[in-house]
Amino acid sequence: MSFVVNTDYNKLYALIFEITNRQVTEADDNFRLEEDLGIYGDEAVDFITRYAEMFQVDVSEFPVYEYFNVEADSVSLFFRKLFGFSKKKKTLTIFDLKKGIINKKINKE
């Protein structure tokens, strides 16, 4: 079981690298996908879709846009945060994705 999980985690790290060109390890479990890794908008939808397919995780009820800004928001996000107009998004971390692999569902509640 442990070997299978570690293999899956290595596949997850490889997927993150493919999307972000950033190497992550177990030490980076608290990295937030949007804030720390820069995954948002269409890229976030693509990432979650590929994650779900790769690990057979049910994301049918996962509200992507409660966790990720849309593409258009990325350009003005800095100014919106600066002036307090940005609605705070929920946080999704690498650790949350690992739990999703084990539970076969992303459950943040």
Residue with token string 């690498």: 94
Predicted confidence (pLDDT) per residue in 68-89, tens digit: 987 755 556 666 666 665 567 8
Q: Where are the domains of the chain?
A: 2-103
Fold of 2-103: 1.10.1200
Model-wide pTM > 0.85: no
Predicted confidence (pLDDT) per residue in 10-67, tens digit: 999 999 999 999 999 999 999 999 999 999 889 999 999 999 999 999 999 999 989 9
The residue type of 2 is S
User: What is the pLDDT at residue 5?
Assistant: 67
User: What is the pLDDT at residue 82?
Assistant: 65
What is the distance between the alpha carbons of residues 66 and 70, in angstroms, rounded to a whole number? 10
User: What is the pLDDT at residue 88?
Assistant: 77
Q: Let me know the angle formed at the C-alpha of 77 by 72 and 83, rounded to the nearest 5 degrees.
A: 135
